[in-house]
Amino acid sequence: MASPIILASQSPFRRSLLENAGVDFEAIGAQIDERAVEAPLADTGLGPEDVASVLAEAKAVDVSQRRPDAIVIGADQTLSLGDEIFHKPADMEAARAHLLALSGRSHALNSALVIARGGAVEWRHSQVATMRMRVLDPGFIGRYLSATGEVALQSVGAYQYEGRGIQLFERVEGDYFAIVGLPMLPLLAKLRDMGAIDG
């Protein structure tokens, strides 16, 4: 019998991607403090892609230690503007500051995946998408945040590319699923290789 699949995330966006693909899985949030995991990395010279991978690993291993029978998928995404790494905005004022900083500039979304089983990492993958935001009028930013509401606080860039956030961009280079936060094609290929889903 195939091992159960667990997504170590409570993200509704990641859950919907797996559900839409017809994957039978359970979602269990990792019990980690992401900022505490990230803090020691600040002086190591690790890039934003590596930081995403470390966080994805921490999530996968945390849940895998509690459910060693399962194939556990950990995912994380960082947004980098030059050397600066952005985190989810704490409130609407922080969301406004994010969008003002990103306006008219290109940023990277670094999406990382890790699969763990029995508390040990078995596979990792990362992808980067480059997002060019158009120049945003401050009045438009206010109206955009008013229209999107609290959902703007659920992602690092204060936007959901798969929703109203598409209006913020003039050019995008990268995989749609990596942008949403779960690179599906390599993940599904790996799950097939592991015999976890029908192939």
> Which residues are the active-site residues?
76
Task: Give the separation between CA 141 and CA 52, rounded to whole angstroms.
Answer: 27
Separation of alpha carbons 121 and 20, rounded Å: 26
Rg (CA), the chain: 17
> CA-to-CA distance for 193 and 134, rounded, in angstroms?
40
- How far from each other are the two terminal CA atoms of the chain, in whole angstroms? 15
Q: Are strands 120-133 and 106-117 parallel, antiparallel or unpaired?
A: antiparallel
- Using the structure block, give the residue that is written with the tokens 């949030």: 29
Contact 186, 180 (CB under 8 A): no
Distance CA 199, CA 194 (A): 10
Three-state secondary structure string covering 118-150: CCEEEEEEEEEEEEEECCCCHHHHHHHHHHHHH
